[in-house]
A = this chain, B = another copy of it.
Amino acid sequence: MTDLIVRPLRPEDASAWHRLWAAYLDFYDTSVPAETYDITFARLLHGGDPNMGCRLALSGGQAVGLVHFIFHRHCWKPENVCYLQDLYADPAMRGRGVGRALIEAVYAVADSRGTPSVYWLTQDSNETARQLYDRIGQPTPFVKYVRG
């Protein structure tokens, strides 16, 4: 897909970003209040929160995917690590490299900050996503627990 562009989030992307993220949250059967959209948008904007970032994928000038990432401390190493939290590609664009391009964009940002460790979490039953993840990353034996 030669016309795919991946770039940081800008103020004028608000409605496109909102649409894509809502679709992503919907996939996880969840939603967030309007105020959280506003706050997270401000943090993800280019230049916003120093520990957060977003890349938008555009094809033919239309936003077709997004990725959100967060930098945080790690006890085992001096530098931060990068948590790739949200990844979404428009279903109409699946199989055309949007997901891979977005993950590779996060790798590039992480490298440029001197924090090359990138990780993410996925549902073990999400076979579609894992087909991509198994090619671009590595599964680990770690499972997530939350406070009861």
Contacts and interface: CB of A to CB of B under 8 A. Distances in A.
Interface of A: 10-11, 14, 25, 30, 32, 35-36, 38-52, 68, 70-78, 83, 85-86, 107, 110, 116-125, 133, 135-148
B142 A107 contact: no
Contact of A74 (B10, B45, B85, B139): B85
B75 A40 contact: yes
A20 to B, nearest CB: 13
> What is the count of identical protomers in the complex?
4
Contacts of A145: 119-122, 133, 137-140
A50 B140 CA distance: 29
Contacts of A83: 72
B146 A119 contact: yes
Contacts of A71: 72
24 contacts: A11-B14, A11-B42, A25-B76, A32-B76, A36-B76, A36-B78, A40-B47, A41-B47, A42-B46, A44-B75, A45-B48, A48-B48, A51-B72, A70-B74, A74-B85, A119-B144, A120-B145, A123-B141, A123-B142, A124-B142, A135-B148, A138-B147, A140-B145, A143-B143
Given A139-B143, A140-B145, A144-B119, A70 B70 contact: no
A30 B45 CA distance: 25
